[in-house]
Amino acid sequence: MPELPEVEVVRRGLQDHVAGRVVSRVEVMHPRAIRRHLPGTVDFGGRIAGRELVAARRRGKYLWVDLSSGEAVLAHLGMSGQMLVQPPGTPDEKHLRVRLTFADDGPELRFVDQRTFGGLSVEPVVTVDGVPLPAPIAHIARDPMDPAFDRTAAIAALRRRRTEVKRALLDQTLVSGIGNIYADEALWHARLHWARPTDALTPRKTGELLDAATAVMNAALDVGGTSFDALYVNINGQSGYFDRSLNAYGQEGLPCPRCGRAIQREPFMNRSSFSCPRCQPRPTTS
């Protein structure tokens, strides 16, 4: 699923190409794409049509567009959701789910989702710590790229979690934006095994891990994010290139760039975790 860098790439594209424009028409091609909008298709379109898309925003891995009504269109990209800007008349994508056309007759905004795990919904906005957020994500913590991110508080929160360090990194209520890919990369940089207990980490080591996660996400953002297939693209349909710079994630059997030992894959929360057995030794149990 898209993580902070990939979602930020999409957010920037939306801000550049649709912010400030007025929606003239909303077409829902597949009801599953708006299943989180419980009032249904007619209400969904009615809340957006005639409104200005004010600004594209993000917290962690969560993306939304503010409406001039004071509500927000919250986008769940899921595993294959794409927000594409296309000239009017461009042939419909095979998995086109929602289309927004604009009063200026300019490029359309299309939500394309092959696997239909993602979706759009119109949500009320609430204020949390002085920041307006769509109500369903009011519990999500700030991410390391947020100007108001409190590094000291995040370190303390991670160490209090009393679980495996990777589980804590993926807990979006502690620190948002980090998913499976960048957690593995950050742990590799910090020389920590994913199963290391958080309460056994010093504040300094926890800070090193957070800094590593921030650095690796910034590096990914610089090259458009990580794309392993055609399902993650920016609003112009272009892929990111950070997969060419990965040190651990997805590198099973390849030599560790630091020591040469083969990267290993281990089961983790119905997914996989990748690490170097030499640089990131598994913690011993007492």
Identify whether the C-beta of residue 43 lies closer than 8 Å to the C-beta of residue 35.
no
Confirm whether 2 is a catalytic residue: yes
Name the nearest CA neighbour of 74 among 86, 87, 84, 61: 61
C-alpha to C-alpha distance for 158 and 275, rounded to whole angstroms: 20
Q: Could you count the other beta carbons within 10 Å of the beta carbon of residue 155?
A: 21
C-alpha to C-alpha distance for 111 and 99, rounded to whole angstroms: 6
Identify whether the C-beta of residue 144 lies closer than 8 Å to the C-beta of residue 176.
no
- Structure-block tokens of residue 114: 């092959």
Active-site residue identified among 2, 5, 107, 144: 2
Let me know if 165 is exposed, middle or buried by CB neighbors in 10 A (0-12, 13-18, 19+). buried
Name the nearest CA neighbour of 158 among 137, 145, 144: 144
C-alpha to C-alpha distance for 6 and 63, rounded to whole angstroms: 11
Contacting residues for 180 by C-beta, under 8 A, at least 6 apart: 3, 170, 249, 271, 272, 273
Residues in the chain, how many? 286
Confirm whether 282 is a catalytic residue: no
Name the nearest CA neighbour of 151 among 87, 218, 206: 206
C-alpha to C-alpha distance for 254 and 95, rounded to whole angstroms: 35
Active-site residue identified among 94, 204, 244, 271: 271
Active-site residue identified among 58, 59, 61, 110: 61
Confirm whether 3 is a catalytic residue: yes
Identify whether the C-beta of residue 198 lies closer than 8 Å to the C-beta of residue 165.
yes
Confirm whether 147 is a catalytic residue: no
C-alpha to C-alpha distance for 195 and 269, rounded to whole angstroms: 12
Residues annotated as catalytic (active site), given as ranges: 2-3, 61, 271
